[in-house]
Amino acid sequence: MDVRIIRAIAVTAVSLFCGCLFTTQSFNRGKLLQPGVSRFGGGVGVTPISEENFGPVTMRDTFYTWTSYKSTGWERKNIRSFSVQYRLGVLEKRPFGNGLEIGWMVQAPVAIYSGYAAVLELDSRFGFNPWVTESGVMYHNVSLGWDIGQWVDNTWFAEYAVGYEHGPITPYFNIRAIAGGTDFFGHSRDPIASDSVGGLGRFDSSKRVFKGRATAGIALATGEIPFVPDYIIPEMNAVFPDYDTLRNVGMSFSLGFQWEFK
């Protein structure tokens, strides 16, 4: 095999394990779709990010003068983040009493330790028996999934979501445990795993980063109005700890739009 092909394969393989990514939009309100029913939508939000700035520096030696660049510090920014989401109801009762739903979401950009990235999220949601009250129904589910960044960084998550459906209004809350990637390229604040220019760290599962995400929102059903989303969903997310280089907790605000197809 050509040496250039081997090198390209090696570089690609290394790149498959880089970074620690997570999403900042959810719209999981506890209730699952019935089998055969699908939901398509998206969201727009404001996501905080820390960005490192660089400035020119004049370098001199005995014979030459040249311009280099060095860090001038970090800056906090809020960026617009967009998502596209698709969900499909698969089972009505099994395996845990109230069905199974699968789906995917693409969100871009999201924050990493220094910069921007896009994330593809794949998950399955397992519904539990709802709690019926005089004024509404409380639905809840557990979601298990995988986040894929610009590289396959093996970010896994487990999430519990609960929502209280009261007529056209469903306030909801969910909490997610995130096991981030092994961070092969050392884009972390661990001085052992990385140097000042983000050098290679060791491929070590102990470098895996663990985070939490809490989400609260309200799903508003609009009724069957042509060309109008079936649901409009304002939402707030908090990712913690060590959100990025400057923040311990990152707060994001989003607005979701969804259409259901039966």
The predicted pLDDT at position 69 comes to 78
* pLDDT surpasses 90 at 128: yes
When comparing pLDDT for 79 and 29, which is higher?
Answer: 29
Tell me the pLDDT tens digit for each residue of 134-179.
899 999 999 999 988 755 556 889 999 999 999 999 999 999 999 8
Q: Which two tokens stand for residue 168?
A: 């056209």
Q: What is the pTM of this model?
A: 0.79
- Whether the bond between 226 and the residue before it is cis, its omega within 30 degrees of 0, is no
- Whether the bond between 95 and the residue before it is cis, its omega within 30 degrees of 0, is yes
The predicted pLDDT at position 3 comes to 56
For range 121-136, the mean pLDDT: 94
* pLDDT surpasses 60 at 88: yes
* pLDDT surpasses 70 at 1: no
The predicted pLDDT at position 17 comes to 42
The predicted pLDDT at position 20 comes to 56
* pLDDT surpasses 60 at 184: no
3-261 is classed CATH 2.40.128: yes
Tell me the pLDDT tens digit for each residue of 14-65.
444 444 578 889 999 999 999 999 999 999 999 877 777 788 887 777 778 8
